[in-house]
Amino acid sequence: MKLPRNEGLVLSALGRLGGRSELSQLSKITGLPDAAISRASLELSRKGLLRIIDSTVSVLKPTEEGLSYARDKLPERRLVELALRLGRRAPVGRLAGMLGLGDDMLSIAIGWVRRKGWGRVVKEGGELLLEVEGPPAEGADERLLRELADRGWAILEELDEEGRGAAALLKGRSLLEETQRSRREFELTESGWAAIEEGLEIESAITALTPDLIRSGKWREVELREYDVAATPPEVYPGKKHIFVEFLEEAKRILLEMGFEEYSGPYVETEFWNFDALFQPQDHPSREIHDSYIVKNPSSGWIEFPDLVERVRRVHEDGWITGSRGWRYKWDRAVSERLVLRTQTTAVSVRYLSTHKEPPIKMFCISNVFRPDVLDAKHSMEFVQLDGIIGDWGINLRHLLGFLEEFSRAIGLGEVKFKPSYFPFTEPSVESFARHPKMGWIEFAGAGMFRPEVLAPLGIDFPVIAWGIGLDRLAMIKLGIEDIRELRSTRLDWLRDRPLM
Amino acid sequence: MPTITINLNDLNSLLGKRLSLEEFREVVFPLKCGQIEGVIGSDITLEVSHDRPDLFSAEGIARELKGILGIETGLPRYRLGESGFKVFVDRSIAPIRPFISCAVVRGVRLSEEAIVQAMQLQEKLHLAHGRRRRKVSIGIHDVREIAKEIHYSAKRPEEIRFVPLGEDREMNGREILELTPKGREYGHIIRDFPAYPLLYDADGKVLSMPPIINGVITRVTERTEDVFVDVTGTDGEAVESVAKIVATSLRERGGELEAVEIIGPSGALIAPDLRPLELNLEVGMASRILGIELSAESISEALRRMRYDAAPMGDRVEALAPPYRVDILHPVDLVEDVAIGIGYGNLEPEPPSIPTRGKELPISAFSRKVRDLMIGFGFQEIVSYIMTSRAMLFDKMGLERGEVVEIGNPLTIDYSVLRNWLLPSLLNFLSHNRHVAYPQRVFECGDVVSIDMGEPTRTRATRKLAAVICDFRASYEDAQSVAYSLLKNLGFGQPGARRAEHPSFIKGRAAEILVAGEPLGILGEIHPGVLNNFGLEYPASAFELDVSRMMELKRLK
């Protein structure tokens, strides 16, 4: 079986350790850091090659005193060994003196000599003598103490019966202490053994490619561990452009490519530019409070071009020189100076024409307009409109239809069809529909040719075609959004999760 | 646009031809009433253009379709007989509702559908052209019980006594305004006058109290044979136009149109005035506008389909427009009718080929660079409304209320002013996302509007950029480093900062951002009080920069 390096090392070490071991041993044998062994063993357990067994064990550790006895031997042994050197029989007082044992320690040592049957104490002429036979074999307690001193610890449950007895003894003498801890062991499964028998092929794979490996060229000797490439990564959120702004930028890009000049105008607009210059009579329903936001502060502005104001007045009242009958009412300058929130970006088109009178003219504006509405899924008091105009000698209605067809395709909709419509400032007026691949015919743009009553006061004597498109609705269709509020969504997770396309 | 509902069977009987729904859909599409909004059984709801009030009923649509289908082309002929009715207009009405026009249609048979259509026409005309009855209102009456001498004058409310339509007892003028549904709806139009308009006959029987309600005595039913129409209002021409439309529409159901003599303080006239409007159209003009080669003959033919009388006269066409066509102001209006007569679908679209170079506004190009950099810093772009509230701009931001652009007729206080800075929009955004994964880094690049009395519109729009960082920890430095890097990447060199006192930010942790000594915006840690106001539980640091001014500085260099 072929395994990554660490996994192979752990598995074979476990085999060598008899099929069951814990982290520290594995670490010693494999030379791997604990974390690497943990990772590898988790991986191996996932593969069914080993089992992870968690349990609680008693850890034995020598006390200070225990350690000193491990170094200097137990006092009873030192007593017996000295007695041996002094001819198997020596006065206790002299032995204690030579070993430097205090009275307390001496009596403890003598007590253990007796209990271990290493010698006997006899009284001769008022003096206590220690008699020994020969050197006693190493006791289980001494062996355990030595091991503890060597390794620093032992696991009670791993000791044999004799060892457990010795541990109890040493514990009683306060030479070791016992603490509880949880233990993780690793045990080979049947398949683990089978894999070892079958032979392990060790990849010398590592996880992280370090600058050191790269610099030293050691990367040639190692193999980079293969990852679970299908695992789910943690979530990250990019800095991301807003989908609606991107849609507006796309519309703008198309128009720039078509050779249009971008233009802008004020959000707060005089009624003059928003309505009067567009030949909307002053009592037109769309000028009522139901259909436009009136600005209270500031409440009125002024018009930059007095001559234009006069011509617009005439054209409303009697048609001026245009051949029109006009709207036949008394035009009020004060009304035209009132301020409203722009209801249509057509106001920007007319502003443009007031200062750009040389054909050819190709202009567009993409910006916010405002109409009284309560914000809900289908209505908004503020939305983005695209208005555009083309003016030149020879421009006609068929060019308008042609432009709308071209723009529809560019924005990703299909063929277009047209029907008559009405706007106070255009004649002929056109409503255009574009075919959406799924939704069928959708209303696309309102359009028309500016009326002479609009153009003549501006001093424009060539024809101008104009159109307006509500970009919110179009964006909703293009982006598959059903609630207009989502175009200005306040939900961060929605914006984060929403694909750009 | 107004919508109306007609019944296909009724329309077919007016047409004298059976159209299936599909056929109807096809023939009506190229007209100004061609947008079908819905179909329930044989009831069809259509959208009709504002400018064609004559199409606000099945009768008008049938009349138009007859031309397009070739059933009957050219000018509809209206013979105007004598009704014998005389309406005396009293001087007292002059300051209130001075204009009246009338008509009689005799021998008309009104089916249930005809009555529905007449009411709908009345209703739609009231809305669109009557300015909700203020400018024009219409009454339709059965005059079998009414004397031929009718008076139109102003009467004091207490003097007025009649049973209004829909009520079961006599009421005075004031009661009508206060107690009837129509009185409550339209009473405001006349309430402030000492006297109300009243239309009554020589015997004192009341036809109506314009523009509020009719008397029950002249109620129109399916048994009605002779119909009397009154149209009153404040605009003589609009009153006359509406009278023409109502009278000619009723006439489509059969019967005879008859005139009413209106006798006023300054003379008498005959109503309705059904003389056609005479117009001339140059062939060249129509051809230029439509972009097709037209002849006087082809124009005439198209106009006849649109119910004009039209005769080719060399390089022009002499046309007579039907009296109900109250929308015609200029020969271009005829050109549109020529186009409709030909069919918009028969005009070949031709993409204009005018070679010009696209030109973006400098602020657009500059804003894109700013946005690109903010994206690069890992910020999510957001878009919010320019309309907002004082609470958002000032109160929640810990600021004293200042002057902002204020709407006179807001529908809700939440959208009653225009924003003069962006940061409140961003904090408002964060307040909706308290349980969304942090860190939250968002920005908006958009316009704010401030008052500037030196401008013709007394206001000035400025492009701004605002960004906010909200996280478990969000320091002054976090926002500062982004703002500085942004400015450096836009070529402004190393920016500076000058300590600022700003109640929206923590004291000692707010600064003006300086470029060459000029403040371009504000930067700082949002004040915990402000965080509380927005319900935010994590700290936030933010900055707002004047993008318009930044662009100006770049252009000056």
| pLDDT for res A117 | 86
Kindly tell me if the per-residue pLDDT of B264 is higher than 80: yes
Q: In the predicted model, what is the mean pLDDT of residues B107-114? A: 86
Residues B57 and B108 in one domain: no
Report chain B's mean pLDDT, rounded to a whole number: 94
User: What CATH number is given to the structural domain containing B371?
Assistant: 3.30.930.10
Residues B383 and B444 in one domain: yes
Task: Answer whether B468's CB lies under 8 Å from B430's CB.
Answer: yes
Identify whether A488 is part of a domain. yes
pLDDT band at B15 (very low <50, low <70, confident <90, very high): very high
User: What CATH number is given to the structural domain containing B258?
Assistant: 3.50.40.10
Residues B432 and B492 in one domain: yes
Q: In the predicted model, what is the mean pLDDT of residues A262-283? A: 96
Domain extent at residue B47: 3-68
CA separation for the pair A203, A325 (Å, rounded): 94
Chain centre to alpha carbon of residue B142: 34
pLDDT band at A210 (very low <50, low <70, confident <90, very high): confident
SS3 A230: coil
Closest in B32, B330, B375 to A240, CB measured: B375
- Across A176-190, A238-252, B331-345, least confident range: A176-190
CA separation for the pair B293, B290 (Å, rounded): 9
pLDDT band at B372 (very low <50, low <70, confident <90, very high): very high
State which of A144-148, A493-497, B125-129, B396-400 shows the largest mean pLDDT. Answer: B396-400
Residues B178 and B203 in one domain: yes
Task: Answer whether A444's CB lies under 8 Å from A413's CB.
Answer: yes
pLDDT band at A204 (very low <50, low <70, confident <90, very high): low
pLDDT band at A72 (very low <50, low <70, confident <90, very high): confident
Residues A347 and A467 in one domain: yes
| pLDDT for res A154 | 87
CA separation for the pair A199, A3 (Å, rounded): 11
Kindly tell me if the per-residue pLDDT of A223 is higher than 80: no
Kindly tell me if the per-residue pLDDT of B390 is higher than 90: yes
CA separation for the pair B369, B376 (Å, rounded): 11
| pLDDT for res A108 | 85
Residues A169 and A34 in one domain: yes
The more confident residue out of A378 and A222 is A378
Residue A19 backbone phi and psi in degrees, to 5: 95, -5
Identify whether A237 is part of a domain. no
The C-alpha angle A380, A382, A384, rounded to 5 degrees, equals 110
CB contact (8 A) between residue B412 and residue A374: yes
Report chain A's mean pLDDT, rounded to a whole number: 90
CB contact (8 A) between residue B351 and residue A402: yes
Question: Residues 244..273 of A with a Cβ closer than 8 Å to B: which?
Answer: 244-245, 249, 252, 255-264, 266-270
Kindly tell me if the per-residue pLDDT of B482 is higher than 90: yes
| pLDDT for res B90 | 94
Identify whether A281 is part of a domain. yes
Kindly tell me if the per-residue pLDDT of A58 is higher than 70: yes
Task: Answer whether B271's CB lies under 8 Å from B323's CB.
Answer: no
Q: In the predicted model, what is the mean pLDDT of residues A218-222? A: 81
Kindly tell me if the per-residue pLDDT of A26 is higher than 90: no
Identify whether B354 is part of a domain. no
Residues A115 and A183 in one domain: no
Q: In the predicted model, what is the mean pLDDT of residues A54-81? A: 88
Closest among A429, A474, A425, A424 to A454, alpha carbons compared: A425
Kindly tell me if the per-residue pLDDT of A277 is higher than 70: yes
What sign does the CA torsion over B35, A288, B410, B183 have? negative
Q: Residue A193: CB partners within 8 Å, gap ≥ 6?
A: A15, A19
Kindly tell me if the per-residue pLDDT of A288 is higher than 80: no
Pick from B127, B392, B407 the residue to mutate for testing the A interface (most A CBs within 10 Å). B407
| pLDDT for res B361 | 97
Identify whether B348 is part of a domain. no
pLDDT band at A89 (very low <50, low <70, confident <90, very high): confident
Identify whether B92 is part of a domain. yes
Residues A488 and A377 in one domain: yes
Query: For residue B409, how many other CB atoms are within 10 A of its CB?
Result: 15
**Among A78, A111, A136, residue at a domain's last position:** A136
pLDDT band at A501 (very low <50, low <70, confident <90, very high): low
Say which residue the tokens 């069977």 belong to: B9
User: What's the burial of A71, exposed, middle or buried (CB within 10 Å: 0-12/13-18/19+)?
Assistant: exposed
Q: In the predicted model, what is the mean pLDDT of residues B401-405? A: 96
Q: In the predicted model, what is the mean pLDDT of residues A482-501? A: 89
ipTM score of complex: 0.92
Closest in B410, B411, B418 to A267, CB measured: B418
CA separation for the pair A272, A335 (Å, rounded): 8
**Touching check for B418 and chain A: CB below 8 Å?**
yes
| pLDDT for res A405 | 96
Q: For chain B, how many structural domains are there in total?
A: 4
| pLDDT for res B19 | 95
For residue B29, the distance in angstroms to the closest alpha carbon of chain A comes to: 7
- What is the residue type of A218? K
User: What's the burial of A500, exposed, middle or buried (CB within 10 Å: 0-12/13-18/19+)?
Assistant: exposed
Question: Residues 249..268 of B with a Cβ closer than 8 Å to A: which?
Answer: none
B543 strand-pairing partners = B467, B523
Residues B264 and B400 in one domain: no
Domain extent at residue A182: 2-63+142-202
**Among A91, A115, A136, residue at a domain's last position:** A136
Residue B261 in tokens: 């003599």
Residues A182 and A102 in one domain: no
The 3-class secondary structure across B165-201, one letter per residue, is CCCCCCEEHHHHHHHCHHHHHHHHHCCCCCCEEEEEE
- What is the residue type of A58? S
| pLDDT for res A203 | 65
Residues B425 and B323 in one domain: no
- What is the residue type of B281? L
- What is the residue type of B211? P
CB contact (8 A) between residue B441 and residue A368: no
Closest in A245, A266, A293 to B457, CB measured: A266
Closest among B507, B504, B432, B508 to B466, alpha carbons compared: B504
Kindly tell me if the per-residue pLDDT of A461 is higher than 90: yes
B232 strand-pairing partners = B100, B137
Task: Answer whether B437's CB lies under 8 Å from A235's CB.
Answer: yes
Identify whether A102 is part of a domain. yes
Residue A145 in tokens: 């103490």
Closest in A294, A322, A373 to B330, CB measured: A322
Q: For chain A, how many structural domains are there in total?
A: 3
Identify whether A224 is part of a domain. no
The C-alpha angle B227, B233, B235, rounded to 5 degrees, equals 125
pLDDT band at A27 (very low <50, low <70, confident <90, very high): confident
Number of Cβ pairs < 8 A linking chain A and chain B: 279
**Touching check for A390 and chain B: CB below 8 Å?**
yes
Identify whether A214 is part of a domain. no
User: What's the burial of B365, exposed, middle or buried (CB within 10 Å: 0-12/13-18/19+)?
Assistant: exposed
Query: Residue B394 has what DSSP assignment?
Result: I
Kindly tell me if the per-residue pLDDT of A205 is higher than 70: no
**Touching check for A402 and chain B: CB below 8 Å?**
yes
**Among A88, A113, A136, residue at a domain's last position:** A136
Residues B316 and B235 in one domain: no
Q: In the predicted model, what is the mean pLDDT of residues B370-395? A: 97
State which of A80-84, A175-179, B15-19 shows the largest mean pLDDT. Answer: B15-19
Residue A61 in tokens: 């550790």
- The tally of CA atoms less than 13 A away on the side-chain side of residue B395 is 8
Query: For residue A338, how many other CB atoms are within 10 A of its CB?
Result: 22
Identify whether B350 is part of a domain. no
Q: In the predicted model, what is the mean pLDDT of residues A93-120? A: 85
For residue B449, the distance in angstroms to the closest alpha carbon of chain A comes to: 8
User: What CATH number is given to the structural domain containing B53?
Assistant: 3.30.56.10
Q: How far from B123 is each of B56, B356, B460, CA to CA, in Å? A: 9, 49, 43
Percentage of chain B surpassing pLDDT 70?
100
Task: Answer whether A183's CB lies under 8 Å from A55's CB.
Answer: yes
**Among B237, B271, B305, residue at a domain's last position:** B271
Residue A33 backbone phi and psi in degrees, to 5: -65, 155
Residues B109 and B181 in one domain: yes
Question: Residues 177..196 of A with a Cβ closer than 8 Å to B: which?
Answer: none
CA separation for the pair B270, B102 (Å, rounded): 9
Identify whether B212 is part of a domain. yes
pLDDT band at B368 (very low <50, low <70, confident <90, very high): very high
Identify whether A499 is part of a domain. no
Task: Answer whether A158's CB lies under 8 Å from A20's CB.
Answer: no
pLDDT in tens, A347-379: 999 999 999 999 999 999 999 999 999 999 999
Identify whether B494 is part of a domain. yes
